[in-house]
Amino acid sequence: MKLPHTSLEGKHLPVMIDEVLKICNPKSGEYIMDCTFGAGGYSKEFLKFQSTKVVALDRDNYVIEIANKLRNKFHSRFTFYNEKFSKLDQVSSDKFDAVVFDLGLSSIQLDDLTRGFSFKSKNELNMSMGQTKRSAKEVLNTYSNKDLKEIIKIFGEEEEASKISNNIVKERAKGKINTTDELVKIIKKSKRKNFKKKIDQSTKTFQAIRIFVNQEISELIEGIINATKVLKPGGKLIVISFHSIEDKIVKFYFKNYSKNHSRSNKYLPEKINSLHLFDEYKNKIIRATSKEIKRNPRSRSAKLRVAIRSANKFNDPEELRNKFKYFTDLEKRIA
């Protein structure tokens, strides 16, 4: 299959790659899993280190061609799976020195206006990163006002969610909402003007619908849990996130399942050592440098966190699933 979109390959600048390389410190023969292949920016850098091996995943079939080029060049040192990272433990039973997630959209996806991610486009509302059950158009035209309001409020952290969902329902009664610019118009009509705000009025609603359509919260939770299973003791789990819900999840997981933060309540006995999935965790966010932000504005909101896998046996982190159940239950309404 020849997809025209690979012409955008060079447009995606890998975010915080120097920091990722410094943490991974790939040595000869190191084994790395790149869970968000995208334009291959990270995988290409890892493969520059002699005899490093990379297993990469991406849910988007638009990137298969880019992956094929790497496979032809590096043969058995590079393997690609067109699969969601929530299933990463099913594609490989090997143990890895590092597992890396660079979340969100690539420029390939955002800049391809036919995919309906960008509120600058006039194309059909799709917003699928690949392997999804419903398009944004189906969600906007068929979900109840209550569901839409909750999705926009919870996943977009949008204060004016109620007005936006009311107007979506009103507009679709007149005729189907088909394109991104139609949605933009509805959002603009619903929101109070605030000229001080730096972000576009549509950003939060678009983010919310995209998260819901792609079930991004459930993907992240299952992805980082399964990454923990495939890491060697001492292996690094690196996550770069771009919005506050993602970062809250990663922070909670790393903090609560690391050696130094085992007690969720100081009056309860300390959990037995065998439950620590990670070694000491510093609870530190690493940010892009101002030089990188200038060159690549997308890196401005990037937050990198890293945890080191302990030698303990894997135990299912039930508290993580419970803590964010509200989000994952909401995402289940896509079914």
Binding site for ligand SAM (CB under 6 A): 12, 14, 36, 38-42, 57-60, 63, 84-85, 102, 104, 106, 129, 219
Q: Which helix (H) or strand (E) holds 220?
A: helix 216-230
Cβ of residue 313: shortest distance to ligand SAM, in angstroms? 26
State how far the Cα of 156 lies from the Cα of 163, in Å rounded to an integer: 14
Cβ of residue 14: shortest distance to ligand SAM, in angstroms? 3
Cβ of residue 314: shortest distance to ligand SAM, in angstroms? 20
State how far the Cα of 191 lies from the Cα of 171, in Å rounded to an integer: 15
Q: Are 69 and 207 in contact (CB under 8 A)?
A: no
The nearer residue to ligand SAM, 14 or 235, going by C-beta atoms, is 14
The nearer residue to ligand SAM, 63 or 161, going by C-beta atoms, is 63
H helices of the chain, in order, are 17-24, 41-47, 64-74, 88-91, 107-111, 136-142, 145-156, 161-174, 180-190, 203-214, 216-230, 244-256, 290-295, 318-323, 325-331
Q: Are 34 and 60 in contact (CB under 8 A)?
A: no
User: How far does CA 158 lie from the centroid of its chain?
Assistant: 19
The nearer residue to ligand SAM, 38 or 116, going by C-beta atoms, is 38
The nearer residue to ligand SAM, 9 or 182, going by C-beta atoms, is 9
Residue identified by tokens 């390939």 is 108
Cβ of residue 28: shortest distance to ligand SAM, in angstroms? 23
The nearer residue to ligand SAM, 121 or 310, going by C-beta atoms, is 121
Cβ of residue 243: shortest distance to ligand SAM, in angstroms? 12
* Residue showing the smallest CB distance to ligand SAM in the complex: 41
Cβ of residue 17: shortest distance to ligand SAM, in angstroms? 7
The nearer residue to ligand SAM, 59 or 243, going by C-beta atoms, is 59
